Structure 1
Amino acid sequence: MNNPTDNSSSNTTYRLVVLDMAGTTVADGGLVDRAFERAAERLGVEPGSADHAAKLRYVRDTMGESKISVFRHLFGTEEAARQANTAFEEAYGELVDGGLIAEVPGARKAIEELRAAGRTVVLSTGFARVTQDAILDALGWRDLVELTLCPADAGGRGRPYPDMVLAALLRTGAVDDVRHVAVAGDTAYDMLSGSRAGAGVVAGVLTGAHDREALSANGATDVLGSVAELPGLLDARERRA
């Protein structure tokens, strides 16, 4: 753990980097849609129906939000939401085990570059821990970063709340000022989470769910083609500082 009062990396302003997973560092090939369809069918939502289409559209619109929160909205009761969430996580895990997942091109290299520059890197997700671990195992990323976080690790509140970003700061001790945190994600909810936490950099990437307009409208300080550009962005900002 880094000492927040240690000035040995004084030239490294953004010493904590919190990265989203699906859509930002991880390419899941539409697995969220497929897992939701399986989960919805188990709860009696007829495939091809108007209800199914509306629910799937809401899932897409709220990419990045904690999945249990999404299901609470869609299914109304806590019991139904938990049933849907369990079914979704099981379906997603089955699909991940089928090999239908990969890194976003250049993501691992970017993470390694960030760490080589003295930055602490945290991977965060709106999925449950069991699903996050399945993704990490599928990619061989268990030891790639210092810390991984899911909503349960931050008191149960996922994005768009700032909790996971702040949990990353508290757990790593990497910085003593939220302005020295950089956040990157592919959704409006990632941008809201980072900006509400007070992060100095909130970078949107165009490899996932939301477009440039949505990212900018919800707090992005920068919009990048992909996470592969993040090390260069942070280096450039620090040179200008």
Structure 2
Amino acid sequence: MPDTAVLDVDGTLVDTNYQHALAWFRAFRRFDLTLPVWRLHRAIGMGGDQLVPAVAGQAFEAEHGDAARQAWSEEFDPLLPEVQAFEGAQDLLTELKARGFTVVLASSGQAAHVDAYLDLLDARELCDAWTTSEDAESTKPAPDLLRVALEKVSGRAGVLLGDSTWDCEAAANADMPAVAVRTGGFSVEELTGAGAGAVFDSLRELLDGLDGTEFARPS
């Protein structure tokens, strides 16, 4: 059984997906590129290195990729104070620790953003480690970040909690089971199709059903 709980942050523990989509919309507009917000929302969960070519194409990535990611950061930063933790997020961290899991937050966010989320969740004492964009060259759905998260705590085996198909695909690519919550706006069918073994509507619902998932007490 897994001994390490690897938790996505954006969209899973903190409610940021729509702020991210809006920031990307505004960032692309700086380059006279208007993309439908629904399309951007569907890509949230990828890291910026993956998202830009996925939604704007390889030619745009080659010419403007780094500048677009910088523009996204400038657009997202003013929205950061609006971000709230999902109900049950801190309780979930507390429960996983009580069950004996090593808890790692697997984020591809900028270090300043991750620091803000740690403060928002009051998570520094509840988590054994966390990652940022500085920890892996390729982000989800590549498995690199999840492997780094596990390595940070010398974990034997991990189970991922995420909110997007990209999280579930990254877990599959890392040979890691996945549990999903629908807070990213993806359907049950999409999440299970991407590899989630169980899907819950909220963190509260997940807390009530932990024993039926890979988050049962580790051996």
What TM-score results when the alignment is normalised by the length of structure 1?
A: 0.78
- In the superposition, relative to structure 1, how do residues 58 and 146 fare at CA in structure 2: closer, same or farther (>3 Å)? same
Residue among 18, 22, 45 paired with 1:30? 18
Counterparts of 1:29 and 1:168, CA distance in 2: 22
Q: Gaps spanning 5+ residues in structure 1: where?
A: 1-12, 46-50
Please say which of residues 81-90 and 128-137 is displaced more in the overlay: 128-137
Instruction: Specify the SS of the correspondent of 1:102.
Output: coil
The one-character-per-residue Cα deviations of 1:178-223 (angstroms, maximum 9, x if unpaired) are: 3xx2111111011111122112x31111122311111011101111
Instruction: Specify the SS of the correspondent of 2:184.
Output: coil
Contact 2:169 2:194 in 1 (8 A): yes
Counterparts of 1:52 and 1:19, CA distance in 2: 30
- In the superposition, relative to structure 1, how do residues 84 and 222 fare at CA in structure 2: closer, same or farther (>3 Å)? same
Counterparts of 2:39 and 2:123, CA distance in 1: 30
Contact 1:16 1:182 in 2 (8 A): yes
Instruction: Specify the SS of the correspondent of 1:27.
Output: coil
The one-character-per-residue Cα deviations of 1:20-50 (angstroms, maximum 9, x if unpaired) are: 11221111272112211221222233xxxxx
Match of 2:131 in 1: 149
Counterparts of 2:146 and 2:21, CA distance in 1: 26
- In the superposition, relative to structure 1, how do residues 81 and 134 fare at CA in structure 2: closer, same or farther (>3 Å)? farther
Match of 1:196 in 2: 173
The alignment-based identity, stated in percent, is 27
Instruction: Specify the SS of the correspondent of 1:94.
Output: helix
Amino acid at match of 1:107: A
Counterparts of 1:68 and 1:127, CA distance in 2: 11
Instruction: Specify the SS of the correspondent of 1:17.
Output: strand
How big is the shift at 1:231?
A: 5.0
- In the superposition, relative to structure 1, how do residues 77 and 160 fare at CA in structure 2: closer, same or farther (>3 Å)? closer
Counterparts of 2:207 and 2:120, CA distance in 1: 25
Counterparts of 2:9 and 2:172, CA distance in 1: 18
- Aligned residues between the structures: 213
Root-mean-square deviation (Å): 2.3
How big is the shift at 1:103?
A: 0.8
**Quick check: which has more Rg, 1 or 2?**
1
- In the superposition, relative to structure 1, how do residues 93 and 135 fare at CA in structure 2: closer, same or farther (>3 Å)? farther
Match of 2:107 in 1: 125
Match of 1:187 in 2: 164
